[in-house]
Chain A
């Protein structure tokens, strides 16, 4: 699928494959594991989302039912959070794409003469992965807090209103999501651009296309698989994230996303059916959006 598109880059020569009982024993343990700990949890999530509070039960006690009104209730209660999740994730994905494309182009096309430089720059792109996700988000919180050097000097220069905040605003959450998922965008873009045949670009300019037209008509279409993979890899985790939007990190009371309410309902309020219903909505919405997006961008062969 889209992910495999750049993970297994080469078209493999089709080796003669044998049919054997060995395959069954090779697959059995791993597939059984995924059935037990991936597939059945999804099913139990669906069952949980339809539960109703147990009669004479304590807080957090539920019994199985077909209480589909749970979905109506959570959509009514959490519509702003649902819209916010997808809105923030979308904006962050666009920012990450705009930020990453020039980097990926430079590493993948301009730096081809220097393979070592190429790989060292790739190491720099993934370097943020090597430091804890939560710590780097907290670092931004402190760098951009109201008392920080950056914010106070912006205020001194009157570039920012004296009572303005950065942390706790939607902008801060989107900033954090963008920063944290940039490597997911840059690497697939790089993989696509690294394979770009530059002779096409030369042919374009030989035919008197200006650089902008060459970029729009040749570079972008040829890097489309990377754009699709990168946007999916950024959008899906960003829509489900709740660390950036959390109040202790970059968010505030008005920036809570679906992940935050799923966590709160599951771990704090012990309202498991609501958390489960929200999770199912999140997953279904993502699958639908991804399906439409992949279809429209004409890269179905990736899947």
Chain B
């Protein structure tokens, strides 16, 4: 798969590492004499981070460019593009953005429900054909996106299904399921079965046990999986391009307009999405660190 696909595995690895971090005692490298690595490495890492941020900074800065149709050379600072995002090309950017949101939300809801059920079954139950099912869940993550996209498009073509929003949603749900399973599975596995047993011992019905105990405990994992699915769906281009027909999503809009120039409004939307996503992740990380600190203090 392309970028967007595997981003998922990477991101899910990132969200799940929480469990491991808490249990393991931190090993700090022993202090030695100051060597080459002690200053060279931090300098390199700083430069590398600056390098990684260059295109992001560029996109952000050019969202303030007082550009005409295309947004290539700097023509002066303006806030107009931020204030009137939808005023370009009859709102084509905003329409594409709205399509991406709708597709992302529907695909996320379906993939999260289906993936969570699979994750529970994988951790909690024994069943036949387990290895075949694991393979079926793994393969979509290891298949290049262009193959997934072309395969679905070939199937829709053979079945005579016209390409529209529905086909995009069907495609996005497909590649999100595996990532949901991977993310939620870790959470189910870390769940203490004794809590549910206690619920049953106290005469809770299966529904009560699920809604009052299991589901709330799984919720952080499910939320992480849903955010991941949405991010994957929102930024997907390759699979979308094969299955979208005349419907335009935000990434497809950028691809189509690339030859004639991207309006600055696209930079505005991308920058806004970037800021929101970054804020969510940073707040999450900082509050997690604060909680860990508080817990450490309480435990002495």
**Which residues of A are in contact with B by a Cβ distance under 8 Å?**
1, 3-4, 6-10, 12, 15, 17-20, 22-24, 26-27, 29-31, 33-35, 37-42, 44-45, 47-48, 99, 102-103, 105-107, 109-110, 112-113, 115-116, 119-140, 142-143, 147, 179-184, 187-188, 191, 194-195, 197-199, 201-202, 205, 211, 232-233, 236-237, 239-243, 246, 248-249, 258-259, 262-263, 266-267, 272, 275-276, 279-280, 282-283, 286-287, 290
Q: Could you say which residues of chain B place their CB within 8 Å of the CB of A99?
A: 48
| CB pair A26 B121 closer than 8 Å | yes
| A-B residue pair count with CB separations less than 8 angstroms | 356
Q: Could you say which residues of chain B place their CB within 8 Å of the CB of A39?
A: 136
Question: B144 is contacted by which of A23, A194, A239 (Cβ under 8 Å)?
Answer: A239
Distance of A275 Cα from B123 Cα, bound (Å): 39
Does B285 interact with chain A (Cβ within 8 Å)? yes
**Which residues of B are in contact with A by a Cβ distance under 8 Å?**
1-7, 9-14, 16-17, 19-21, 23-24, 26-30, 32, 35, 37, 41-42, 44-45, 48-49, 52-56, 58-59, 62, 72-73, 114-115, 117-118, 120-121, 123-127, 133, 136-148, 150-155, 157-158, 170-171, 173-174, 177-178, 181-183, 185-186, 189-190, 193, 231, 235, 237-238, 241-242, 250-251, 254-255, 258-259, 262, 266-267, 270-271, 273-274, 277-278, 281-282, 285-286, 288-289, 292
Q: Could you say which residues of chain B place their CB within 8 Å of the CB of A112?
A: 26-29
Question: B124 is contacted by which of A1, A17, A38, A126 (Cβ under 8 Å)?
Answer: A17
A147 to chain B: closest CB distance in Å? Answer: 8
Distance of A197 Cα from B30 Cα, bound (Å): 12
Q: Could you say which residues of chain A place their CB within 8 Å of the CB of B148?
A: 38, 41
> With A34-B177, A110-B29, A112-B27 in contact, is A45–B12 under 8 Å at CB?
no
Nearest neighbor of A283 in chain B, beta-carbon distance: B147
> With A129-B231, A131-B270 in contact, is A243–B14 under 8 Å at CB?
no
SS of B interface (majority): helix
A287 to chain B: closest CB distance in Å? Answer: 8
| CB pair B266 A272 closer than 8 Å | no
Scoring A41, A135, A179, A191 by chain B CB atoms within 10 A of each residue's CB, the highest score goes to A135
Q: Could you say which residues of chain B place their CB within 8 Å of the CB of A113?
A: 26, 28
| CB pair B182 A133 closer than 8 Å | no
Distance of A263 Cα from B255 Cα, bound (Å): 13
Scoring B13, B171, B259, B277 by chain A CB atoms within 10 A of each residue's CB, the highest score goes to B13
| CB pair B147 A33 closer than 8 Å | no
| CB pair B125 A8 closer than 8 Å | no
Distance of A44 Cα from B150 Cα, bound (Å): 10
| CB pair B183 A38 closer than 8 Å | no
> With A39-B136, A126-B10, A132-B270 in contact, is A44–B52 under 8 Å at CB?
no
